[in-house]
Amino acid sequence: MSTAAEVSVELNGATVVARLTGEVDMANATYVHDELLRSVPNDAVALVIDLGPTRYLDSAAIALLFDIARRLGTRRQALRLVMPPDSPLERVLTLTEMGSVAPIHETLASALAG
């Protein structure tokens, strides 16, 4: 079991904020996927995934984000991502058109405001 990534969760009103720290790749994508889904109760309005402390995402990680967006969508819950302007992740999120399923905010405050 890779422990290269950690998920820490806190509640902000009816919105769940999950900070994703470290590196996510095919070795730990399933773990991260399950941790994120588990963090969202049925009565939550939205999940905000903070990618500020994330150092690496590969296509398996992108796939898990797409899957979470789909699942939350069927539950009428929103997914929003936080990615600071100078993040090295920018290219991969752009190339995979991540923005098409989850809006990408530059700050946590803006993501919480929706």
Partner 1 sequence: MAGGDGERLGRSARQQVAVAELGQQALGGSEVDELFAGVVEAAARELELEFAALLELTRDGRLLRRTVHGLPMETVGDVLPPGEDGLPGYALRVDSTVVVDDYASEDRFVKSAMQQQLGIASAVAAPIGARGRHFGVIVVSCREPRTYSPDDVSFLQSVANVAGAAVERARADDVVRDSERRFRELADTAPALMWMTDPDGHVIFVNEGWLRFTGRTLADELGDTFASSAHPQDREELVEAWDQAIKTRDEFRHEYRLHRRDGVYRWVLEVGVPRYVAGEFLGYVGTATDIDERKAMEESLRASEHAFRELADSAPVMIWTTDADGLVTFVNRGWLEFTGRTLQDELGDTWALGVHPDDVPEVDAKWTGTFAERDGWEHEYRLKHHDGEYRWIFERGAPRFEAGRFAGYAGSATDIHERKTMEERLRQIYEREHRIAETLQRSLLPERLPVIEGLTMSARYLPAGHGEAIGGDWYDAVELKDGRVAVVVGDVVGHGLRAAAAMGQLRNAFRAYALVGSSPSEVMGRMNRLTIGAGDDTIATALLLMLDRETGQLTYTSAGHPPALVVGRDGTRFLEDGRSMPVGAADAAVFREGTAVLEGGETLVLYTDGLVERRDIPLDRRLEELAEVAGSGALELEDLCDRLLRRLLGEGERADDVALIAVRAEPAALQRISLRLPAEPDALLGLRRRLARFLHSAGATEAESYEITLAISETCGNAIEHAYGPGDASFQVEVELDGDELVASVRDSGSWRKSRGASHRGRGLKIIDGIMDSSDVVRDERGTVVNMRRRLSAGVPA
Segment near partner 1 (CB under 8 A); pick from 10-18, 34-42, 55-63, 72-80 = 55-63
Handedness of CA 21, 1, 101, 45 (dihedral sign): negative
H-run or E-run covering 22: strand 15-24
Nearer Cβ to partner 1, position 43 or 86?
86
For residue 101, state whether it binds partner 1 (rule: CB under 8 A): no
Work out how close the CB of 22 gets to partner 1 at its nearest, in angstroms, rounded to a whole number: 10
- Binding residues for partner 1, total number by CB under 8 A: 20
> Do 40 and 47 form a contact (C-beta atoms < 8 A)?
yes
